[in-house]
Structure 1
């Protein structure tokens, strides 16, 4: 199993020991980029929010502390498409 297969179906930001989706939560799939296949927990978000997210990652273009930028897909609110990477906060 390679890294991409290992990460698929896991929840972004969850502890490694409990990284699978939970039935009482709502998720959106991250599509493309360094976090491709991970699930983003959107349970406590207002319907349709957020439209864009900047998620910390160690595997993007800017390395540890960098951000992967994702935007909600207009036709399918359960998916966020990768828009690029950004450096982390100074």
Structure 2
């Protein structure tokens, strides 16, 4: 199994021993970039916070350890957050 296949369906930030989604939570699919295929738990974000998008820590992006990847909601489909780029 390659890294991409391993990460699909996993929740960003979840424990490796319990990587799947939980009942009663709301998730957005991360599309593109280094976190492509992961789910992001957006349950506790307000509508305004969801609209602004998120900056997620990841060592998989352009800047390696300590870097972040920006994702924002897809127009017309807030269940998908598209990759906007990487930042240090």
Instruction: Identify the TM-score tier after normalising by the shorter chain.
Output: over 0.9
Q: Which runs of 5+ in 1 are unaligned?
A: none
Q: Aligned partners of 2:55 and 2:3: how far apart in 1?
A: 22
Q: Which runs of 5+ in 2 are unaligned?
A: none
Q: Aligned runs of 1:1-90 on 2, under 5 Å? A: 1-47=1-47, 49-51=49-51, 52-87=53-88
TM-score, normalized by length of structure 2?
Answer: 0.93
Deviations 1:64-87 (A, max 9, x none): 010001111111000000011000
Deviation at 1:45, TM superposition (A): 1.6
Count of residues paired in the alignment: 87
Question: Would you identify which runs of 4 or more consecutive aligned residues in structure 1 move more than 6 Å?
Answer: none
Q: Aligned partners of 1:46 and 1:84: how far apart in 2?
A: 23
